[in-house]
Structure 1
Amino acid sequence: MFYWLMKRVFVGPLLRLVYRPWVRGAEHVPAEGGAILASNHLAVIDSFFLPLALDREIVFIGKQEYFTGRGLKGRMTAGFMRGVGTIPVDRGGGKAGEAALRTGLRRLSEGGLFGIYPEGTRSPDGRLYRGKTGVARLALESGAPVVPVAMVGTDVAQPMGRRIPKVMRIGIVIGEPLDFSRYRGMENDRFILRSVTDEIMYAIMSLSGQEYVDVYAATQKARIATGHPAAGSEAERLPAAPGGRPAPAVQVPVPPEDEAPTSVG
């Protein structure tokens, strides 16, 4: 109930009015049954705008820190996250991360939509980073299709450190579902997990038009924080796309100029 109140009565109408989000490919989301929505991650507001594009409820994984804040703001944030069904995950990995994945599997087995950011954290610079294999494990263990998603412009609206997003159009591009049933039962093969993850990331890259960096976003953030050279500079040769493939010949999607503002939700 809280989810739909926020989407249709309180937050959703305001976001639609102010940011005029545009959507392409919403028809690719299955009308029923479990499915994984795997998206790039550019800003905190990604988890607000993607649900606006869908008629179905979607549940995300969220970092544990959203649930442990202090003071009024911390309690309000934790209450909101719980209200919309966000699943807390300890990004340090281990048993806590495993528990979050199990919760996702349960969500999928119940026929729901489960949203995940394979990069594991927000991109520090708007580029697409190496995907973690948790999304592949979810796909292979659940048998659910993976729907690739590209958020467009959220990093410009809300760059790192900015709380209130600036007013501009936000885009969501949704691709055709990916079927990995051919790998069912191979979820413990790390090479298969990496291959599936790279295929998912390639699909996201093809939708978003982002430049790819073949390191984890968390590693890149650590390098930047400690003053080390960031990966992916011109002097460092890295694969142009996930899995060592050539980069797809695509550009960053742009808002439609000849259409009325998209009505979503």
Structure 2
Amino acid sequence: MFYQVLKYVLLGPLLRLLFRPRVEGLEHVPEEGAAIIAGNHLSFSDHFLMPVVLSRRITFLAKQEYFTGPGLKGRLTAAFFRSAGQIPVDRSGKEAGQAAIREGLGVLAKGELLGIYPEGTRSHDGRLYKGKVGVAVMALTAGVPVIPCAMVGTFEIQPPGRVVPRIRRVTIRFGEPLDFSRYAGMQGQKAAVRAVTDEIMYEILALSGQEYVDEYAAKVKDAGSAAPRRKFPRR
């Protein structure tokens, strides 16, 4: 109920008024049935702007830190994400990744839309980074299509570290559903899930027009350096 109130009464109308999102390819999002929407992640605002333009409810796998922050701000943030039905994900270690996959499969088993950012974290410089394979494992295990999505302009309105967004128009593009039935039963094979993940990232890249870096975003952040631009690996 809170999700609907938030979307149609409280936050949704305000976001539409302020950012006037252009929406392209919305017809590619199925009206019913399970599917994964995989997008680039440029801004904290992405969590709110994508759901606003979708007629269906979407559940995101959100980083656990949104649910465990200290002080009044942390409690309010946690209450907001829980009330909106978002799922906390511990991003530390292999077992944490398996837990996230189980949670995501639970959403898909109910015939719902699952939102995921394959990069695993926000881009710190506006470029698109290498995707993690969890999205491929879930798509192949559940046998569902993946709809690529590109957020365009959200980095400019609210890059990491900026609290109050700038008021500018943004664009949200959805691509055609990707069918990976040819990889059915291969979710345990590293080469297969890497190929599926790269195909998803290629389609996001085509929609967003970003520069691509063939490194994990978290690794580049930890290194504290600007990774050179890399060509996308050939399919």
Assess same fold via TM > 0.5: yes
TM-score normalised to the size of structure 2? 0.97
Q: Is the 8 A contact 2:44 2:160 kept in 1?
A: no
Q: Which residue of 1 aligns with 2:196?
A: 196
SS at match of 1:106: helix
Separation in 1, partners of 2:108, 2:129 = 25
SS at match of 1:244: coil
Separation in 1, partners of 2:127, 2:89 = 23
- Worse overlay, 69-78 or 193-202: 69-78
> Who wins on radius of gyration, i.e. which is larger?
1
TM-score normalised to the size of structure 1? 0.87
Q: CA shift at 1:96, angstroms?
A: 2.5
Q: Which residue of 2 aligns with 1:261?
A: none
Please tell me whether residue 39 in structure 1 is matched to residue 39 in structure 2. yes
Please tell me whether residue 122 in structure 1 is matched to residue 112 in structure 2. no
Which of the residues 208, 211, 230 maps onto 2:226? 230
Separation in 2, partners of 1:97, 1:88 = 12
Q: Which residue of 1 aligns with 2:234?
A: 244
Look up the equivalent residue of 2:234 and give its one-letter code: G
Look up the equivalent residue of 1:140 and give its one-letter code: L
Q: CA shift at 1:32, angstroms?
A: 0.3
Separation in 1, partners of 2:127, 2:47 = 18
Look up the equivalent residue of 2:217 and give its one-letter code: A
Q: CA shift at 1:205, angstroms?
A: 0.4
Q: Which residue of 2 aligns with 1:2?
A: 2
Separation in 2, partners of 1:83, 1:96 = 23
SS at match of 2:73: helix
Q: Is the 8 A contact 2:35 2:146 kept in 1?
A: yes
Q: CA shift at 1:38, angstroms?
A: 0.2
Q: Is the 8 A contact 1:34 1:113 kept in 2?
A: yes
Q: CA shift at 1:46, angstroms?
A: 0.4
- Structure 1: runs of 5 or more not aligned: 246-265
Q: CA shift at 1:93, angstroms?
A: 2.8
Separation in 1, partners of 2:207, 2:85 = 27
Separation in 2, partners of 1:93, 1:99 = 10
Q: CA shift at 1:95, angstroms?
A: 2.1
The number of residue pairs the alignment matches comes to 235
- Structure 2: runs of 5 or more not aligned: none
Q: Which residue of 2 aligns with 1:86?
A: 86
Q: Percent of pairs identical after alignment?
A: 59
Separation in 2, partners of 1:101, 1:2 = 25
Q: CA shift at 1:230, angstroms?
A: 2.2
Q: Is the 8 A contact 1:124 1:220 kept in 2?
A: no
Separation in 2, partners of 1:60, 1:141 = 18
Separation in 2, partners of 1:210, 1:154 = 12
Separation in 2, partners of 1:127, 1:69 = 27
Q: Which residue of 2 aligns with 1:250?
A: none
The 5 Å alignment of 1:66-105 reads: 66-105=66-105
Look up the equivalent residue of 1:191 and give its one-letter code: A
Look up the equivalent residue of 1:157 and give its one-letter code: I
The 5 Å alignment of 1:148-227 reads: 148-224=148-224
Q: Which residue of 2 aligns with 1:61?
A: 61
Separation in 2, partners of 1:126, 1:71 = 30
Q: Is the 8 A contact 2:64 2:88 kept in 1?
A: yes
